[in-house]
Structure formats: structure tokens, C-alpha cells
């Protein structure tokens, strides 16, 4: 979409009929602000939504060296962006310019408007999404600053965490810019304190854990009840689909996610075989839209909420969380997905975050631009990574253990890999060892048929070699197969652990009322579309279970 068209979508003006409809909505109040008075400010949580009736409201970005005007809303225009729906703190400040009169709408009432007034709701949602896109594409919005050296694992971890969660930030590399030291001094810190996270002229955190960072920027949301109709563990495609359908159908729904929504799919730079997106969509875009949908319908999403164990209080699952809290479910959906396996070769663990990566996005590509890199794996994730990286680096070596690129990779993607001039496919090849000092410097490969070795000088290896299910927190009552994937439905025929009087539902585990969907489920199809389908299907089965409970 052209920038002019995107701007028109981002800043619409409601007509008199739409304003009148808004004014008739329950819990919509009229409020006046005097010149210079703030309607809300950056960092404020649970901000109200405002529509200008008369006067003007200036939107100010305070994340840089000094305040900067983003836009000025006049009569018929409104405040907000996607964080308004997802419950994150405001990233800008709104100030009355001249005396003004506005409609004031609480976050709960805004959700009611989005669901009960679809025409008005669509205008607001499209505007919110377009505003975030403009902030991202223009590159003028500083957002959070992450200050730290590229050689630091913690610097990479903080950057990766923010990127995975769709948080706008700017990275200042203390090893590349000598002026950063002076910038650090104004916050009273030194390079020894890095990575540090700042906002405008405020120091927020020094080398924070992911949980500390999530709490500071509003990603980790407190649970608003102790018993939910549906608790979903994992916010990949299956978990997010279940959240959308569960919440939209009236179930009190919460999603507990340990790192970031999206799962493995959320890190893909191009998904082309998902129905309805013929030109493809990035995993990040798909995830952002799903998170907005889930929040729109009232699902609660809490990030960096690690589930450490599962017990049962009679028929009901009780989940233990890392902070010592517990949450009880009438029904539980296990949608924790799987992690890519580590290579398990000499040097791999040492260079994780310093040359060994398990995703290929702009965050990782920034560390190796113009270099030669190695991608390991023969599936779609490896193929997508190789094609994306080919546009960022000098050359990509795609290392495939088997002898046929088409065995585990979709035909369209395998052909694209073969047609990309700076991708070299190395079949029947495996990684033997990695070498380097602070960073990865070289990878030794071996042909598993001829025994011939080859050393490639490279600062980056990207690994996509199969999956390990995230099921270490499950008790014996929930049966898994020999590889640790959760067994469900017909595969449980004859299982001594099934305690129900009826046959298990299709996605039901050995414990009645506990279901599994997506990559974590034994026998699942490892595709985004099938994960979304299973997540939606799980909610229908949850309704069936609740009827008989």
C-alpha cells in the first residue's frame, strides 16, 4: 500500500452519523480538556480512547532526544494504536491544543464498540494497524533504546525478546559507535552496566531478565481470575486460534506464553502457503493480527508466564506458574509447540547468540550483513531462512543431511532455493564442529557419504533441524509418545491411563478435559494452517466437554 493511502487509513475522520452513533454507546462520556492538559502520556497503562468533538489534540513522541509531533487530531479524529487493544502502555503522549471537547471511552467499552458496531469498529481497527505500520516503516520513531555491545549475549537476548513481541525499539551498538559512551554517561551508567534499556531521557532497566522487561513494558499481565473456562498454554498459531474462537464464543479464556506469541511460525519472514495470502505474509504480521483478534474478543494474553507444573483438583487442571501463582481451568489446551533441536556438535552451545541462531529475521541478519552464512536443515523453515538471508548476505550455504532437497521441503520453495544464484545447496552434508573466539568464526562440514570435509569461514550459522516438544512440565497423567509429543484421540485406544467412561475426543489427551493442538501433538501436520485448524477445532470440543461436565 502506498504511503499516501496508508496515511488515509491511519487517520480517518468520522462523519456526523458515526459520531452520533458513538455518542449513543453505553459508557461513552463527554469530557473537556484545557489547553496544554494531557489526555494521557507515554507509559500510562489502560489508557482511555478519545474521539475529538471540538478543538485539537496533539500526539507527541517523547522517546527521542526531545518531543516531536506525530500528528494533530481535529474534530472527528481519534487517538490510539494497536497497544490500545492489546492492553500495552501508551507509546505516545496526547495533549490538548486549545480547549477541546472529546468523547471518552474506557478500554472495556472500546472492546464493546469493536464487537457490537462492526462498521465503526473496522474503521478504528484498520486505523490502529496502519498507524503501527507507519511508525515501523518510516523509521523515525525511536521507541525503546537498547544500548549494548553486539558481543554480549544479553544484548542479543533483549533485542530478540523485544523483536519477537513486536515492541518498537532502536539498538545502539557500543562497539560500533564511540559516541555511545557519552550517551550512557547522561544516564549515570557505563558499558559495564549494559545492556541497558531507556525511554527518552529515562533509564528503565539495567541488563533486565525477560520477565523484568515484560513487566516494565506491560507484556506480562496479571490474571484477573483464578478459574477460567479455557486455559491455553502456548501462543503459537494453535494457541492463538483457540484464544480467538474461545473468547469470541463467550469462554473466559487466558493464554499463558513463556517468551512471545507466534511460536516458530512467528519468526518466519515469508509464509506463502497459508490460505488467503497469495503474495505471502510474514509470521510477525500474522501473529500481530491474531493477537489483536484475541484481545478484541476479550482473551487475556500474559507473556513471560512460564508454566512449571500441572496437577489436578478433582477433575479440574491446576497449573503452577513460575511466580508461585496457580490458575485453575475447567478445560486446558496444551499448545506449547516445539523448539528446534540443537546441533550437539563441538562449539554449538558456546556460540549461541554469538553466531549460532535458531531464527532468521532482520535481528539476526543485522549481525552478518555482507558475509557468507550457513543454514542447516532440509525443511520449509530452513528454505525460507535461506531465501530471506540470500537478500541480506553475500552467500548462503544450505546444509542438508539427506540427498534430496524436495523430500521435506515444499516444491515451490525448493525450486526457489535452487534458482537463487547466491545459495549453494550442500546435500549429504552435516556440521562436524564450530570454531571461533568471542564469536563464531568458522564451521567445519563433512559429507556423510564421501567423508570429505570442508571449512567455511562464517560469522553465522542458522539451525532448523527438527523439533523437541515443550512437554517437560506435564505430569504422567498426560501420556506422551516415545519422542515426547502428546498423544490424543484415536491413538489412545487401549491406553490404561484413559480414565473417562467414553472414548476420548479427537484432540483429547489421556486426562479428560485436557486437550492438545499444533506441533506439540503426536501425529500433527507441521504447517501453520493445520495448527490454526486444530486450535479452532479444540474450542468446539471444549464446548462438548463442558456440556457433559
CB 147, CB 153: distance < 8 Å:
no
Q: Is 316 helix (H, G, I), strand (E, B) or coil?
A: strand
Q: Which of 265-274, 417-426, 476-485, 501-510 has the lowest mean pLDDT?
A: 265-274
* Rounded distance between C-alpha atoms, residue 42 and residue 144, angstroms: 11
Is residue 324 situated within a structural domain? Answer: yes
Place 467 in a pLDDT band, splitting at 50, 70 and 90. confident
Is residue 541 situated within a structural domain? Answer: yes
All three cell numbers of 448, joined, read 556423510
Indicate whether 256 and 322 sit together in one domain. yes
Indicate whether 402 and 260 sit together in one domain. no
Does residue 4 register a pLDDT over 70? no
Mean pLDDT of 17-46: 91
Percent of the chain with pLDDT over 90: 78
SS3 letters across 169-225: EEEEECCCCCCHHHHHHCCCCCHHHCCEEEECCEEEEECCCHHHHHHHCCCCCCCCC
Which domain-ending residue is among 158, 193, 216?
216
Side-chain half-sphere of 104: how many Cα atoms within 13 Å?
12
pLDDT at residue 156, rounded to an integer: 94
Place 1 in a pLDDT band, splitting at 50, 70 and 90. low
* Rounded distance between C-alpha atoms, residue 473 and residue 319, angstroms: 10
Mean pLDDT of 7-13: 95
Tell me what the pLDDT averaged over the chain comes to: 93
Indicate whether 149 and 104 sit together in one domain. no
Does residue 542 register a pLDDT over 90? yes
DSSP designation for 480: B
Indicate whether 325 and 354 sit together in one domain. no
Mean pLDDT of 160-187: 90
* Rounded distance between C-alpha atoms, residue 460 and residue 102, angstroms: 53
Total domains in the fold of the chain: 4
Ramachandran angles phi, psi of 459, nearest 5°:
-90, 0
Could you tell me how many helices (H) and strands (E) the chain has, helices first? 14, 26
Which domain-ending residue is among 183, 216, 249?
216
Does residue 544 register a pLDDT over 90? yes
Could you tell me the CA-to-CA distances from 73 to 102, 110, 273, 439 in Å, in that order? 11, 19, 40, 49
Is residue 222 situated within a structural domain? Answer: no
Environment class of residue 26 by beta-carbon count within 10 Å: exposed (0-12), middle (13-18) or buried (19+)? exposed
> Which domain covers residue 81, as residue numbers?
3-138
| CATH number of the domain encompassing residue 50 | 2.60.120.10
- Predicted TM-score (pTM) of the model is 0.93
Is residue 343 situated within a structural domain? Answer: no
Is residue 105 situated within a structural domain? Answer: yes
Residue matched to cell numbers 558481543 = 151
Does residue 93 register a pLDDT over 90? yes
Model confidence over 194-228: pLDDT tens digits?
999 999 888 889 999 999 999 988 888 888 888 99
Indicate whether 324 and 372 sit together in one domain. no
Give the count of beta carbons closer than 10 Å to the beta carbon of residue 496.
7
Mean pLDDT of 168-187: 89
Nearest 5°: the CA angle 38, 167, 237 is 125
Mean pLDDT of 163-183: 90
Mean pLDDT of 22-38: 92
Does residue 232 register a pLDDT over 60? yes
Model confidence over 290-322: pLDDT tens digits?
999 999 999 999 999 999 999 999 999 999 999
Place 267 in a pLDDT band, splitting at 50, 70 and 90. confident
pLDDT at residue 448, rounded to an integer: 95
| CATH number of the domain encompassing residue 166 | 3.40.30.10
Does residue 2 register a pLDDT over 60? no
* Rounded distance between C-alpha atoms, residue 438 and residue 304, angstroms: 29
Indicate whether 35 and 101 sit together in one domain. yes
pLDDT at residue 225, rounded to an integer: 85
Place 87 in a pLDDT band, splitting at 50, 70 and 90. confident
pLDDT at residue 362, rounded to an integer: 93
| CATH number of the domain encompassing residue 425 | 3.50.50.60
All three cell numbers of 444, joined, read 567445519
Listed residue (362, 360, 368, 378) closest to 443, CA to CA: 368
Does residue 496 register a pLDDT over 70? yes
Could you tell me the CA-to-CA distances from 87 to 37, 117, 295 in Å, in that order? 23, 20, 8
Place 31 in a pLDDT band, splitting at 50, 70 and 90. very high
Amino acid at each position: 500500500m502506498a504511503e499516501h493511502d496508508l496515511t488515509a487509513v491511519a487517520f480517518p475522520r468520522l462523519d456526523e452519523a458515526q459520531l452520533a452513533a458513538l455518542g449513543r454507546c453505553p459508557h461513552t462520556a463527554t469530557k473537556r480538556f484545557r489547553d496544554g492538559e494531557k489526555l494521557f502520556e507515554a507509559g500510562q497503562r489502560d489508557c482511555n480512547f478519545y474521539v475529538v468533538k471540538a478543538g485539537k489534540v496533539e500526539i507527541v513522541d517523547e522517546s527521542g532526544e526531545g518531543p516531536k509531533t506525530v500528528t494533530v487530531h481535529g474534530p472527528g479524529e481519534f487517538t490510539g494504536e494497536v497497544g490500545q487493544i492489546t492492553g500495552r502502555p501508551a507509546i505516545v503522549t496526547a495533549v490538548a491544543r486549545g480547549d477541546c471537547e472529546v468523547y471518552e471511552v474506557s478500554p472495556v467499552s472500546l472492546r464493546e464498540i469493536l464487537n457490537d458496531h462492526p462498521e465503526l469498529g473496522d474503521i478504528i481497527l484498520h486505523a490502529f494497524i496502519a498507524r503501527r505500520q507507519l511508525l515501523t516503516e518510516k523509521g523515525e520513531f525511536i521507541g525503546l533504546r537498547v544500548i549494548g555491545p553486539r558481543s554480549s549475549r544479553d544484548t542479543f537476548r533483549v533485542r530478540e525478546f523485544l523483536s519477537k513481541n513486536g515492541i518498537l525499539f532502536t539498538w545502539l551498538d557500543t562497539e560500533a559507535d564511540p559516541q555511545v559512551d557519552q550517551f550512557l554517561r547522561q544516564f549515570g551508567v557505563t558499558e559495564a552496566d549494559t545492556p541497558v534499556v531507556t525511554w527518552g531521557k529515562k533509564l528503565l532497566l539495567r541488563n533486565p531478565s525477560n520477565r523484568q522487561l515484560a513487566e516494565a513494558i506491560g507484556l506480562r499481565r496479571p490474571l484477573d481470575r483464578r478459574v477460567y473456562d479455557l486455559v491455553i498454554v502456548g501462543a503459537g498459531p494453535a494457541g492463538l486460534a483457540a484464544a480467538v474462537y474461545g473468547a469470541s464464543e463467550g469462554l473466559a479464556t487466558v493464554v499463558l506464553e513463556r517468551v512471545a506469541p507466534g511460536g516458530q511460525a512467528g519468526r518466519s519472514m515469508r509464509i506463502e502457503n497459508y490460505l488467503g495470502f497469495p503474495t505471502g505474509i510474514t509470521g510477525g504480521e500474522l501473529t500481530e493480527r491474531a493477537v489483536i483478534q484475541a484481545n478484541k474478543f476479550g482473551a487475556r494474553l500474559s507473556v513471560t508466564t512460564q508454566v512449571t507444573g500441572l496437577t489436578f483438583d478433582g477433575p479440574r487442571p491446576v497449573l503452577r506458574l513460575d511466580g508461585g501463582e496457580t490458575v485453575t481451568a475447567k478445560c486446558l489446551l496444551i499448545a506449547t509447540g516445539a523448539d528446534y533441536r540443537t546441533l550437539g556438535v563441538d562449539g554449538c552451545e558456546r556460540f549461541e547468540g554469538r553466531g549460532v541462531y535458531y531464527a532468521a529475521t532482520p535481528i539476526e541478519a543485522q549481525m552478518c550483513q555482507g558475509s557468507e552464512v550457513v543454514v542447516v536443515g532440509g525443511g520449509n523453515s530452513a528454505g525460507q531462512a535461506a531465501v530471506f538471508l540470500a537478500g541480506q548476505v553475500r552467500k548462503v550455504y544450505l546444509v542438508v543431511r539427506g540427498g534430496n532437497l524436495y523430500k521435506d521441503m515444499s516444491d515451490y520453495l525448493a525450486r526457489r532455493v535452487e534458482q537463487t544464484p547466491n545459495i549453494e545447496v550442500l546435500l549429504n552434508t552435516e556440521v562436524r564442529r564450530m570454531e571461533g573466539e568471542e564469536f563464531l568464526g568458522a564451521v567445519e562440514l563433512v559429507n556423510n557419504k564421501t567423508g570429505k570435509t570442508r571449512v567455511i569461514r562464517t560469522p553465522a550459522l542458522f539451525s532448523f533441524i527438527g523439533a523437541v516438544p515443550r512437554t517437560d512440565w506435564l505430569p504422567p497423567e498426560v501420556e506422551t509418545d516415545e519422542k515426547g509429543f502428546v498423544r490424543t484421540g484415536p491413538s489412545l485406544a487401549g491406553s490404561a491411563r484413559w480414565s473417562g467412561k467414553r472414548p476420548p475426543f479427537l484432540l483429547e489427551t489421556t486426562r479428560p478435559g485436557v486437550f492438545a493442538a499444533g506441533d506439540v501433538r503426536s501425529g500433527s501436520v507441521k504447517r501453520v494452517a493445520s495448527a490454526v485448524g486444530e486450535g479452532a477445532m479444540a474450542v468446539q470440543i471444549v464446548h462438548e466437554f463442558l456440556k457433559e461436565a
